[in-house]
Structure 1
Amino acid sequence: MPGFQEWRKVCSMFPLKERDWPIAQKLLTSGACPRCIFRFCCVGIQTLYRLPLQDLARDLHAFLKMGQKDEPQAEGNNEEDEPPSKRLRLEERGAEEQSALASDGNVALPERTPTVCTLCLGILQEFAQKDFVRKVCQKVYSAGYQFASFVFSVSLPAQLSVREHAAWLLVRQEMGKQGLSLEKDDIVQLKEAYKWIIHPLFSEELGVQIDSKSSFEVSVIFSHPETDGDCHFLATACPDCFRPTKNKQSVFTRMAVVKALEKIKEEDFRKKFPCLPSSPETSCVALEIECNHAAVFVAGRYNKYSRNLPQTPWVIDGERKMESSVEELISQHLIDVFKADSFNFSSSGREDVDVRTLGKGRPFAIELVNPHRTQFSAQEMKELQQKINSSSDKIEVRDLQLVTREAVGHMKEGEEEKTKCYSALIWTEKPIQKTDIEFLDDLKQELQIAQKTPLRVLHRRPLAIRPRVIHTMKTEYIDEHHFRLQLKTQAGTYIKEFAHGDFGRTKPNIGSLMKTTADILELDVESVDVDWPPALDD
């Protein structure tokens, strides 16, 4: 006959209270694994879940077979409301009382745990082992990512929520018999218990720490085809929770199932689904093991020296109009070095294909999607900048640097309040003298203009009248039909339209001010007055 010390040892390993005994027995006999039994008994000791499953099953059986409702409690687990007179020693019990957990006709305990848990479908069994961790880590190694920490995420089959709901109803009913209540949130969530077990194994195998804020994510998507039908009755009971979407192959998403379970009445649920469900024949399968790194951002300024180079690829009706673009000349080098899947290019404004960008250049940022390499020294970034600049005489970049997603927002902040400086070569139909353009220099007050959306961009911009400001103008006479005009304007001003008027859609304009027909022959962006990104030392 087991002694009291042995009883204390088992109790210290499994800190279940007297109220948990009938619950643990019913869950075990229905096919729940020991770890799921602990979850539904609200045991939150992480180290307990990490013990070998075989040991947990063996000792849990011993614990249940030894106990009765009035068995003595282990140290640290005494019920405060239990009188000392009820704390009898185990060896005083007869053999007849030890043969069952309780004397109310509970079924006998199974000799071994079912192969596949009816509640976790194998997640806390097969997939909480070192062999599975090694399989996932092999995927990580082969993907070739550079990372100093990682976050692990799992996607579980939606039907697990149905099975857990059924078990919760049963456990809540058992606790109700004892005058106790159990909320769903009191139960240890499956994902939580799984991470308690799996995180230390991953950290040991990969040699880095788990960090919920890490930019590198390892994810596993589980499925269980055998029990896919568990959710189907909910579509009839709560049809408004399951609506087809374009991107989802199944309407039975986890969120939809959870929403339906919150809505369905308990009696309706019990009529359609057993409490507890039967044990499946097969475990879950790891449908996908994926690695993904959060995007990194590279910023800088670019100069464009060609009048035959668009900022972004120029494609009309599927036909490419220009051989390359600023975006491509810069991004291709970044894609190669960062080993990214794709990119997104943005800039502080844009210039037309025939407009050069001079001076300190135009600020730009490139989002590199799912990069495999992310750590670069200042010297390596400088070498990358030199590589871009030596690859083409059409562009040049400066101040190339890694920035945060939040910092990219500074490039767009107050964009229309910023100023830009231009140099334009103007042609006039009427012959002019130097004195004919001097009045433009003498406009002391800022010139207010109204620009209706230009005809050339009307296909991609909404029709509107936009007020803009010409801050300063300075002229340089060339000959009787040409002069150069230096302008400082509000960002977003259409300079070409300010020159020729766009059939009267920009008022006033150079032509109307000079009382002649005027047009722009060449345009250069001299400066974009956005103080970003920070200038780097050459």
Structure 2
Amino acid sequence: MSSLTEKDKPIVQLLLSTGTCPRCILRFCCVGTQTLYRHPYKDLMKDLKEFLKNNEEKEDTVCFGVVDPPCKRTRLEHTEERPDDLNHNGALQQIPSINDENTAMETSAVKVCNVCLGILQEFCEADFVKKVCQKVNSADYQFTSFVFSVSLPPQLSVREHAAWLLVKQEMRKLDLSLAKDDIVQLKEAYKWIIHPQLSEELSVPKKGAALFEVSVVFAHPETEEECHFLATACPDCFKPAKNKQSVFTRMAVIKALEKIKEEDFLKHFPCPPSSPKNLCVTLEIQCNNGAVFVAGRYNKYSRNLPQTPWIIDGERKLESSVEELISEHLMAEFKADSFNFSSSGREDVDVRTLGNGRPFAIELVNPRRIHFTAEEMKGLQQTINNSSDKIQVRDLQLVTREAIGRMKEGEEEKTKTYSALIWTDKAIQKEDIAFLDDIKELKLDQKTPLRVLHRRPLAIRCRIIHTMKSEYIDEHHFRLQLKTQAGTYIKEFVHGDFGRTKPNIGSLLNRTADILELDVESVDVDWPPSL
């Protein structure tokens, strides 16, 4: 167990007299032993009281165990220049010396801490831990480890700054200094106390990289305006940001405190900080599970089904989509809050996807259920396939976030195979289209198609038709098999898009050509693994 020494006594005495709790006192004394903070609050109070009563052994440890590691506080080589003890226009209040330690202890024991606002008091107790665990258990998440996070009111940084200035003044009298960074952070101390209790109550280990997060959001309405003076003193630190309810974020307040001069701070904020009437309140106890990723391949058999919901100006144009037909079942089984769908390219609403299908991945956000066996995934795949004749999925499996990157690798280099039913205005014979079979590595210049110009930037893209194979049907129809570079606009290659794609089937045949049907026969991406 770490220790307090005689040189800490003035700081302990000072902070107790101004309404600071025992755990915050340990923080300001740079005590870094985690287990010490976990001692019951009453025991810590008692130990501090015993420590203050000891006036005999000047440098020895009392009540707190072995001698500290070398203290981060350093003795000043030269006395710092410091403001004279001034009035309310810019100086620390003079704190009278304390002769009655019992009075100090009793005063501190009944008050809400003037630094942590009760965070290291009430909210470290077993009752609060049980309240958090009840919330977690009622949310019905699957998890094998957890990480704990806490969100503190920004004004706590202001109060801690004021307490630090107070301690600094006391330490100057001893020719010592205390860097603000040497103080044990409130969040850190709170986690030292709360983490083991949560771990025991939930019966799972805590891990820094755990996917399941338990977070507590604290607020203190009574003091929420205490940091507002910083906006006047340091306006550059408080700039409105999108999606932020208040400019007084923790980081903005910390930045302002680093910038403001000591005398300016003392003109606006009492030092020591006053004792509040009320404890902090818990705004939220939140649970969040890391995302789970599911991958597979889908076939689309309908020519009236978009890949993603087709909604224009708030009006749904078609009743469903590939994304929805797959995700609704995953959402139900994984009990997720939301999802994000991605795929290796996309087909138009009137285009079928055949063959082995198109690779896709779905990110399930904040899922309650995360553990699925291979058999359960197979059953889920069957459920999806039984629900609709418009789509089918295969190779459905759990994957990692990193693995999804393989789906997007080589986006420009991968190839796709298509089958197009083509119409021509002038009659054709089999010999008229036979030359198409001999064309290899045909280079196209494709301007952004008119049909997608509203959502894609205007550009000329070079694409390659690797091979073509024609199949004569009648005088005005033939089928064309194409193997192309990914990203090639096949419809525009057929009809030319008013000359925006060059060359095109129409120009090659010297006829007007149009496409009647298009199927994706293969998407040549070796992912996800076949099952």
User: What is the TM-score with the length of structure 1 in the denominator?
Assistant: 0.90
User: Any idea what the Cα deviations from partners look like across 1:185-215, whole Å, max 9, x if unmatched?
Assistant: 1111111111111011101110001112111
Matches of residues 310-329 of structure 1 in structure 2 within 5 Å?
310-329=306-325
Distance in 2, Cα, partners of 1:384 & 1:470: 38
1:105 Cα deviation after fit: 4.3
Answer yes or no: is 1:62 the counterpart of 2:71: no
Other-structure match for 2:385: 389
Q: Secondary structure of the equivalent of 1:417?
A: coil
1:56–1:80: structure 2 CA closer, same or farther, 3 Å change rule?
closer
In 1, Cα distance between the equivalents of 2:139 and 2:506? 61
Structure-2 change in CA distance of 1:79 and 1:183 (3 Å): closer
2:111 matches 1:124: no
Distance 2:322 2:283 in 1: 41
Q: CA deviation at 1:178?
A: 2.5
Q: Deviations over 1:150-178 (max 9, x none)?
A: 11110001111011111112222322332
User: What secondary structure sits across from 1:154 in the alignment?
Assistant: strand
Corresponding residue of 2:435: 439
Deviation of 1:320 after TM superposition, in Å, equals 1.7
For residues 125 and 70 of structure 2, the distance between their equivalents in structure 1, rounded to whole angstroms, comes to 38
Write out aligned runs for 1:142-161 (5 A).
Answer: 142-161=138-157
More deviation, 65-74/308-317: 65-74
> Partners in 1 of 2:187 and 2:120 — Cα distance?
9
Alignment correspondent of 1:162: 158
- Residue aligning to 1:289: 285
Whether the aligned pair in 1 keeps the contact of 2:297 and 2:396 (CA below 8 Å) is yes
The DSSP-based 3-state class of the residue aligned with 2:418 is: strand
Q: 1:474 is matched with which residue?
A: 469
The residue identity in structure 1 corresponding to 2:431 is: T
Q: How far off is 1:76 after superposition?
A: 3.8
Q: Contact (CA 8 Å) 1:32, 1:114: kept in 2 or not? A: no
Amino acid across the alignment from 2:507: S
Q: Which string of whole-angstrom CA distances, capped at 9 and with x for unpartnered residues, describes residues 204-246 of structure 1?
A: 1100011121111111100011111221221121112122334
Q: 2:11 aligns with which of 2, 19, 23?
A: 23
Give, in whole Å, the separation in 2 of the partners of 1:79 and 1:39: 15
Provide the C-alpha distance between the structure 1 equivalents of 2:307 and 2:213, rounded to a whole number of angstroms: 33
Q: Which residue of 2 aligns with 1:213?
A: 209
Aligned partners of 1:80, 1:429: CA distance in 2, in Å?
92
Q: 2:86 aligns to what?
A: none
Alignment-derived partner of residue 259 in structure 1 = 255
Preserved CA contact (<8 Å) 2:5 2:59: no
CA distance in 1, matches of 2:454, 2:176: 68
1:239 aligns with 2:235: yes
Question: Which structure 2 segments of 5+ residues have no match?
Answer: 72-95
Distance 1:254 1:288 in 2: 17
* Counterpart position of 1:224: 220
For residue 509 of structure 2, what is the aligned residue in structure 1?
514
Is the 1:419–1:528 contact (alpha carbons within 8 Å) kept by the matching residues of 2?
Answer: yes
Letter paired with 1:371:
P
Please give the secondary structure, in 1, of the residue aligned with 2:118.
coil
Within 1, Cα distance between the matches of 2:446 and 2:242?
A: 41
Q: Structure 1 vs Structure 2: percent identity of aligned residues? A: 75
* Equivalent AA in structure 2 for residue 56 of structure 1: L
| Preserved CA contact (<8 Å) 2:17 2:98 | no
RMSD across aligned positions (CA): 1.7
Q: Does 1:50 align with 2:17?
A: no
1:7-49 deviations in Å (ceiling 9; x for gaps): xxxxxx7711222110110001111111111100000111111
Letter in structure 1 aligned against 2:477: H
| Aligned partner of residue 222 in structure 1, secondary structure | strand
Query: Where do 5+ consecutive residues of structure 1 fail to align?
Result: 1-12, 82-103
Equivalences, count: 501
- Whole-Å Cα distance in 2 between the matches of residues 390 and 77 of structure 1? 71
Query: 2:420 maps to which residue?
Result: 424
With normalisation by structure 2, the TM-score equals 0.91
Residue 344 of structure 1 aligns to which amino acid in structure 2? N
Whether the 8 Å contact between 1:220 and 1:289 is mirrored in structure 2 is yes
Distance 2:2 2:438 in 1: 90
Q: Please tell me whether residue 412 in structure 1 is matched to residue 418 in structure 2.
A: no
- Secondary structure of the 1:218 match is strand
Q: Secondary structure at the match of 1:209?
A: coil
Q: Cα–Cα, structure 1 residues 71 and 394, in superposed 2: closer, same or farther, change >3 Å?
A: closer
- Give the Cα–Cα distance (whole angstroms) in 2 for the partners of residues 79 and 43 of structure 1: 9
Cα gap change, 1:37 to 1:364, in 2 (>3 Å): same
1:178 aligns with 2:174: yes
Deviation at 1:247, TM superposition (A): 2.3
CA distance in 2, matches of 1:69, 1:221: 44
SS at match of 2:241: coil
Choose the corresponding residue for 1:450, options 445, 459, 464.
445
Partner Cα separation in structure 2 for residue 163 and residue 400 of structure 1: 54
Q: Deviations over 1:402-444 (max 9, x none)?
A: 111121122112211110000111111111111111111112x
Q: 1:370 aligns with which of 366, 373, 376?
A: 366
Q: Give the equivalent residue in structure 1 for 2:332.
A: 336
Match of 1:32 in 2: 20
1:107 positional shift: 4.6
